[in-house]
Amino acid sequence: MLPPVVSPALLAPGALGRVGVWTAGLDSLHVPVAQDTAAALEQAGYGALWFGEAYGREALTQAAVLLAGTRRMVVATGIASIHGRDPVAARGAQATLLGAHPGRFLLGLGVSHRPMVERFRRGAYGSPIEEMTAYLDGMD
C-alpha cells in the first residue's frame, strides 16, 4: 500500500525552513555539479530547493539526484507537469522518493501550458481544472 499523498502541512514543522530557493539553473549543470550545488545551498542554510520541469531534466529523476546529494533539505517540484507521466507513475515515484528520503520530498504538480503540451510533448491540452481533477483522482 502506498503512503498518503503528502502536502506541505504534513511535512515536519519547519521542514521547509525560513528561506528556500527556486531555480531552473540546475538543469544546465552536469549531474555531480548539480548535486554539489544543492549541497552548497543546504550548507548555506536554505531549507528547500524548488525547481520546475520544462525542457531540461525529468522532474522526479532530478529530485532523486538532488535528494541523494543533500541530507536535510526538502526538494520540491514546482512544478512537475501532469503531461509528463501518468498518475500511477507519479504516485509510485512520490512513494519511492518519500521512502528513500522521509519528509524531504514535496511533489508539486501543474498542468503546464498549451504550447508546451501540444508542441513540445505532442499531447492534447484540455481544460486545466478537469485535467488536474482527473489526474489527482487517478493518484488516489
Look at the block and give the residue holding cell 550548507: 43
Whole-model pTM?
Answer: 0.89
Place 137 in a pLDDT band, splitting at 50, 70 and 90.
Answer: very high
Q: Mind listing the pLDDT tens digit for each residue in 126-136?
A: 899 999 999 99
C-alpha cell read off for 34: 548539480
> Which residues make beta-bridge pairs with 81?
110
Q: Which residue has the higher pLDDT, 125 or 120?
A: 125
The pLDDT of 9-21, averaged and rounded, is 79
The pLDDT value recorded for residue 5 is: 59
What is the percent of the chain with per-residue pLDDT over 70, rounded to a whole number?
93
Report the half-sphere exposure of 126 (CA within 13 A, side-chain side): 9
Q: Mind listing the pLDDT tens digit for each residue in 41-100?
A: 999 999 999 999 988 899 999 999 999 999 999 999 999 999 999 999 999 999 999 999
Considering only CA atoms, give the Rg of the chain: 15
Q: Which residue has the higher pLDDT, 2 or 115?
A: 115
Check if the beta carbon of residue 76 is closer than 8 Å to that of residue 48: yes
The pLDDT of 13-32, averaged and rounded, is 91
